[in-house]
Structure 1
Amino acid sequence: MALATSISSPQLRHCSSSVPPPRRRPWRRLRPAAAVAASATATPPSEGNIVIVGAGVAGLATALALRRLGVGAAVLEQGEALRAGGTSLTLFKNGWRVLDAVGVADELRAKYLRIQGMRMRSPAAGGRDLREFSFEEEAPGQEVRAVERRVLLETLASKLPPGTISFSSKLKSIAEQGPDGTLLELEDGRQILSKIVIGCDGVNSPIARWMGFSEPRYVGHMAFRGLAEYADGQPFEPKVNYIYGRGVRAGFVPVSPTKVYWFICFNRQDPGPKITDPVALKSEALELVRGWPSDLLAVMRSTPEGAVVRTPLVDRWLWPGLAPGASSRGGRVVLAGDAWHPMTPNLGQGACCALEDAVVLARRLAPAAAGGGAGAGVVEAAMRAYETERWARVFPLTARAGLVGALVQWENPAVCAARDGVVIPRLVRLGPFLEHTNFECDLIEPAPQSP
């Protein structure tokens, strides 16, 4: 597996200090276990001593942010290629600020539509309007675009040096090795001793489990998602469309001139057996909203069977004093994104928070990882600072997303009538509701590459 080339230190815009250049030191692959014990001398963290597990949004964004700060990292991905599955992600202002910071936002903006507003309806009477919002009028400065997950990952990966990502590298076990670091054993028998491990391995993270986190909690809702294709151009205005029923809600949003993303959330006591037949998936989704507005049904019917997925919605609330911290006891392993704080999609903040994690962690960790004299204590302090900063952000958002989901999934007829007749038309205010998308994130100037 090739490593990132050595890069010199960048300057942070609006910052007076610079990050010292990293020292080149290869990370080690150890086959016999005795080789681990033989390494008695701890070396300072450096390029090649950082391993990121998982090439999803959090993992690739963290690798890119570190690189722009002058620190290289290797990325392990269990799949044979970047994950092409999934549909699209709706990114709000805070997500776009991070993408600006790491230098990929404009490339993505050129491909995806800017959403201008939001329309809320009831499925009754073919889609009775409840409320319409304009982002420009009610939330000035907001930026909302839906992007294809596959394209987002490919764009982030394209800015990393060749060989940064090692595919078919599934984690088998993880173990502390004292001052030498953390030993990662892969399914194919490789062993990697790393000074710093960043777990970005998703909702069902083995690293989070090793650190003592509970399994993500199923919240009682399932979600269908799909990506419709219109070869001759999709006909919809650039608005988010929400339709609220009793225990079922759906929506769709134009992604690009030829694609439209849609979703359905529905109550279910348990996730039930996994369905792999794509025709059966699409049929079940259409049955859930039979008789709903014709535009939603048209979008769903324009979706290739292979572009429909069904997943249980889960979260994990990071209760103070009860949940483990984001970094391990030894201060050498840290979590980011869904591996740490899976949340329901009710606020559209899962991917946005993963991107926020990436830049905050990179800025905290880069000086410690690049400093020639930095020891384990310095790295641990950087991880703890990241944990403190991000916990204050992600715990309230995770809880709020869960509570919003519980409220909008009501089945009681009287409660739904109050929602449709009073709450949405008269009480909801878009500006205050989207205050959580405020996130300060200065640009990270790219580091000049060494010849």
Structure 2
Amino acid sequence: MLPKASSSNLLINSFLPPSPTLRKIAHLPNKLPHTTTQHGSRFICLSKKLSIDTQKEETVIVGGGIAGLSTAVALHRLGIRSLVLEQSESLRTGGTSLTLFKNGWSVLDALGVGNELRTQFLEIQGLNRTQTLPQRFIQDDNHQQHRLSIKTHEGKDLRSFDFKDVDPSQEVRAVERRILLQTLANQLHPDSLQFLSKLAKIEQDDATGETRLELTNGAQLSAQIVIGCDGIRSPIAKWMGFPEAKYAGHCAFRGLAYYPNGQPHEPRVSYIYGRGVRAGLVPVSPNKVYWFICYNSSNPGPKITDPSVLKRQALDMVKNWPSNLVSTIEQTPDDTISRTPLEDRWLWPAVTPPVSKGRVVLAGDAWHPMTPNLGQGGCCALEDAIVLAKKLGQAMKSRQGSTEDALRSYGQERWPRVFPLTIRANLVGALLQWENPVVCSLRNELVIPKLVQIRPLLEHTNFACEPL
């Protein structure tokens, strides 16, 4: 057990049961040989230390996702070592892709991995949008034109543009999540990543300011700084007093189609709007295409773990929709298909807790989960990483100001950015998910063609990111 601290602690075991693998590790003898697991072409530390002795660390990052790894890389480039704790056996290998706009790419450039990723993924030229009703879809004969096209179900063109026409500096690419994580991890020393490390308990010592972490395998750590990058269900955020993310009223099927002989789509995003249902196709690489179906639902429904069932459900939902959407779903390996509820958390001032508590701080989805309607979840996680690393670097290297001040400054800089984006993403989703035929007609005849200004829609991708 951990020594008793003067502040309250949170037992996380009650809702995060250890896996059989972790139970086995917990009963291994204290003196274990150094164990590694192969990850890609490199070997990454599986467990740095599993004895009952407390492992001392200056900076611990909980969570090996986009926010966690990008923060670790940013700190590493500033000469600051961190330890990343990841509860899984390896980096995430499943999942689909995420769309990164120019703000995300500016951060990846600062982290030194932008060009490596660019060579693997297509640059998206623009967007095609069509509106369809069940049984009444009319396909655009010019669907391969290099412009955005927003149409009604009758084929009326509502809007058209290219990303570069609106903003010459814009850059849009869909990136496979697993490759992004692998690329970031490759920038770190193998000992910086510790797998099979699920958080069981966290507590702060008010006397020393240190944070003590206990893992489900029995390992204990003491850290000067803890960065919670543990996702939308973050135990650290819960310990800090943040409410659970709220369901937005929509669920989404997602998948990554694979074409061994080359995918047939132009490098453009294709959106199809119905009543309460919308779908999208995003070319990722010469062989892969990401797709999604977002639909209204009063509740998330039961969790289904069989991807073949999810695939059938997705196909049933769009069986009368464009053939290119249906064929893309049919071309998708079952193990890439998922269905998730869309959730977010609005960071109301004076209501939600601050981003930091002592020397514990949050980043990414652990702090500001948002719906994917603006394509900014991953981009904002990258922004968090670069800003947080710079603030910590200044405090730790120059000794000007306390670490606590640096974390508060990070929150003060990031909150005006992420709070409005979270609300805006939610409202855009509500607009696109309308079901009433009269309201949908208003959306198609007035809102999209006459009221929506394209340039302001992309202004949120402006982010000044200086080199580290």
Compute the displacement of 1:430 (Å): 2.0
Equivalent residues of 2:96, 2:256 under 8 A apart: yes
Of residues 378, 384, 406 in structure 2, which corresponds to 1:382? 406
Which letter maps to 2:405?
A: A
**1:100 is paired with a residue of what secondary structure?**
helix
**1:281 is paired with a residue of what secondary structure?**
helix
1:154 maps to what in 2? 182
> How far, CA to CA, are the matches of 2:273 and 2:166 in structure 1?
21
2:339 maps to what in 1? 310
1:209 maps to what in 2? 238
2:387 maps to what in 1? 360
Ranges in structure 1 where 5+ consecutive residues have no aligned partner: 3-26, 37-46, 445-451
Per-residue CA deviations over 1:246-299 (Å, capped at 9, x if unaligned) read 000000010000000000100011111101111110000111112011111111
**1:300 is paired with a residue of what secondary structure?**
helix
> How far, CA to CA, are the matches of 1:297 and 1:81 in structure 2?
33
Compute the displacement of 1:442 (Å): 1.1
**2:92 is paired with a residue of what secondary structure?**
coil
Compute the displacement of 1:29 (Å): 8.3
Which letter maps to 2:212?
A: L
Compute the displacement of 1:425 (Å): 2.8
> How far, CA to CA, are the matches of 1:141 and 1:324 in structure 2?
36
Equivalent residues of 2:57, 2:221 under 8 A apart: no
> How far, CA to CA, are the matches of 1:420 and 1:237 in structure 2?
25
Which letter maps to 1:384?
A: R
Compute the displacement of 1:28 (Å): 9.8
> How far, CA to CA, are the matches of 2:90 and 2:77 in structure 1?
24
Ranges in structure 2 where 5+ consecutive residues have no aligned partner: 1-32, 35-47, 141-149, 152-158
> How far, CA to CA, are the matches of 1:261 and 1:420 in structure 2?
25
Compute the displacement of 1:163 (Å): 1.4
2:295 maps to what in 1? 266
Which letter maps to 1:151?
A: I
Of residues 60, 65, 71 in structure 2, which corresponds to 1:62? 71
Of residues 199, 203, 210 in structure 2, which corresponds to 1:171? 199
Count the aligned residue pairs.
403
- TM-score using structure 1 length: 0.86
Of residues 186, 193, 196 in structure 1, which corresponds to 2:225? 196
Compute the displacement of 1:97 (Å): 0.4
Compute the displacement of 1:30 (Å): 8.1
**1:272 is paired with a residue of what secondary structure?**
coil
> How far, CA to CA, are the matches of 1:81 and 1:384 in structure 2?
32
Which letter maps to 2:72?
A: A
> How far, CA to CA, are the matches of 2:265 and 2:380 in structure 1?
29
Compute the displacement of 1:354 (Å): 0.2
> How far, CA to CA, are the matches of 1:49 and 1:209 in structure 2?
23
Equivalent residues of 1:30, 1:193 under 8 A apart: no
**% identical aligned pairs:** 59
Which letter maps to 1:231?
A: P
Moved more, 419-428 or 228-237: 419-428
Q: Does 1:96 align with 2:105?
A: yes
**1:218 is paired with a residue of what secondary structure?**
strand
> How far, CA to CA, are the matches of 2:160 and 2:332 in structure 1?
26
> How far, CA to CA, are the matches of 1:219 and 1:352 in structure 2?
20
Equivalent residues of 2:209, 2:359 under 8 A apart: no
Equivalent residues of 1:139, 1:430 under 8 A apart: no
> How far, CA to CA, are the matches of 1:259 and 1:420 in structure 2?
31
Q: Which runs of 4+ in 1 moved over 6 A?
A: 27-30
Compute the displacement of 1:180 (Å): 4.7
Change in 2 beyond 3 A, CA 1:387/1:177 = same
1:224-303 equivalence runs, <5 A: 224-303=253-332
